[in-house]
Amino acid sequence: MDRATFACSTAFYRDYNSSSQGAFSLPGGHVDFIEKVDSFTYSDFFRDYLIPNHPCVFSAKFTEDWSSRRNWVTWDGKPNFDHLLQKFGEAVVPVANCDVKEYNSNPKQQLPFKEYVRYWKEHIKNDYRSSRGCLYLKDWHLSRAFPEQDVYTTPVYFSSDWLNEYWDAVAVDDYRFVYMGPKGSWTPFHADVFRSYSWSANVCGRKKWLLYPAGQEEYLKDRHGNLPFDVTAPTLQDRSVYPRYNQSQPPVEIVQEAGEIVFIPSGWHHQVYNLEDTISINHNWVNGCNVAIMWCFLQDELAAVQREINQWKDPRDDWHLQCQLIMKSCTGIDYKEFYNFLKVIAENRISVLENGLDDEASAKNTPKAAISTLGMLHAVFDLKRTVKVLTSLSANEDFKKLDLTSLSPPPEALLHHLKAAIDTALL
């Protein structure tokens, strides 16, 4: 991060309101296409897309060095099933049935990868028809299962990745996925986990994206407050069911070609179609620009849980703890883990400020290495955003009702340390 970008971000977030992010207009629904690698910097992306929360598309030049672009694809741009079976044939993968709806999503099953490829090849041979339905391999943690496979390099623009930095540190999970599916497979209307950013790169094939800026989803809810499963369904025209649909803006539409990367802003709902047999790589990620949106999302989720079980509220029992447990089962995180998430990020940034940049670490393709790559000013920016959110968390009444004695250091001590580190860095 250069000094001009640091100054720009500091000015923007001084009066920032996370509830309004995403309300920025996108003139004419236009989405910028980033063509050249050598003329587009991290600071350009940070200033023009991360801060205003705008989508963009990167050309295939940004992925042309990936081994997956060479080895996973045949000469005519199709999935290289022989190579994929050789590398991953014995893996067990999550597969969704796009033809079945259960609880507003597609039901999943675990299949051997070699069985899924057999299905896929038969599906193609039968003109994309199958008695088993349209099956879509989704949310495969390939990088975690096969860490020795060097299939891609995370572009520097997406390298400030707090989610994967944290989950790598606790060795529990990650938010790096591979998707593989035949022509006609699709993902229903949704926003990404924790209202995170996402980036999605087509190794081969083509996708169509329907994007709705943050806030537009409110106009797409039915009279019971539920979001649609399919935003293209004719039933949305029924005003007795979807009374505010006519107030919504048309979606931003993107057709993504092979090799291209789509950046999806924080909190933008979307629906995605595979127009051809397609393989893609996707990351969800959070950083200093949208961590406040993540915090707002968690507060909204807890409030929804509290409303749902309010009739069983008893001040004498552990009702507040039960709400946290339910929220964690639904979202994957509760308030105390969110505190630990912020703590891990903060301590990593303080280490950079106190010990300097690690040139050896910065050469590695990991979120932690990105701390060194992005520089000291980025570490200061991250700390300032962490202080803002941690201050809000510490003052939150639901957080204060929890047993915080297990948190080390205590929130007040961590805040003091962060502020001191920022002051020292800016001297």
Q: Do residues 302 and 279 share a domain?
A: no
Joined tokens for residue 323: 């709400």
User: Are 52 and 186 in the same domain?
Assistant: yes
Q: Let me know whether 206 and 144 are in one domain.
A: yes
Q: Per the structure, how many domains does the chain have?
A: 2
Please report the pLDDT score of residue 45 as a whole number.
98
Q: Are residues 262 and 320 in the same domain?
A: no
Q: Are residues 78 and 144 in the same domain?
A: yes
Q: What is the pLDDT of residue 373?
A: 74
Q: Is residue 230 part of a domain?
A: no
Residue 1 lies in a domain: no
Same domain, 295 and 279: no
| Residue 315 falls inside a structural domain | yes
Copy the structure tokens of residue 375: 């520089």
Looking at residue 365, its pLDDT comes to 56
Per-residue model confidence (pLDDT) at position 19: 56
Sign of the alpha-carbon dihedral angle for 190, 192, 194, 197: negative
Helices and strands per DSSP (H, E), number in the chain:
15, 13
Domain shared by 265 and 334, yes or no = no
Q: pLDDT means per 10 residues in the chain (427 residues)?
A: 91 75 60 96 97 97 98 98 98 98 92 98 96 97 95 96 95 94 98 98 99 97 97 97 96 98 98 99 98 98 94 80 95 97 96 75 58 86 97 98 95 96 89
What is the pLDDT, as a whole number, of residue 14? 85
Q: Which two tokens stand for residue 391?
A: 């201050």
DSSP-derived secondary structure for 212-265: E-TTGGGGG--TTSPPPS-TT-GGGG-TTTSTTGGGSPPPEEEEEPTT-EEEEP
Same domain, 58 and 101: yes
Structure tokens at 66: 């990936």
Domain extent for 366: 291-425
Decide if 235 is inside a domain: no
Task: Choose one of 285, 312, 344: the last residue of a domain.
Answer: 285
Radius of gyration of the chain, Cα coordinates, nearest whole angstrom: 22
Domain boundary among 285, 302, 336: 285
Asked if the structure places residue 234 within a domain, the reply is no
Last residue of a domain, one of 285, 304, 337: 285
Exposure on the CB side of residue 236, measured as CA atoms within 13 A: 19
Query: Is residue 336 in a domain?
Result: yes
| pTM for this entry | 0.94
CA angle (318 as vertex; 315, 322 as ends), nearest 5: 120
Query: Tell me, what's the pLDDT at 361?
Result: 53
Residue 131 CB-density burial (10 A; 0-12 exposed, 13-18 middle, 19+ buried): exposed
Within this chain, do residues 170 and 302 fall inside the same structural domain, yes or no?
no
The predicted pLDDT at position 363 comes to 53
pLDDT at 366: 58
Write down the pLDDT at residue 364: 57
- Evaluate whether residue 185 is within a structural domain: yes
Beta bridge partners of 328: none
For 95, half-sphere exposure in the C-beta direction (CA atoms, 13 angstrom radius) is 23
Is-contact 214 53, C-beta < 8 A?
yes
Is 273 found in the same domain as 413? no
Mark whether 146 and 265 lie in a shared domain. Answer: yes
The two structure tokens encoding residue 124: 């193609």
Q: What is the CATH number of the domain that holds 75?
A: 2.60.120.650
Report if residue 19 sits inside a domain: no
**Dihedral pair phi/psi, residue 322, rounded to 5°:** -60, -40
Tell me: do 376 and 394 sit in the same domain: yes
What pLDDT is attached to residue 408?
A: 96
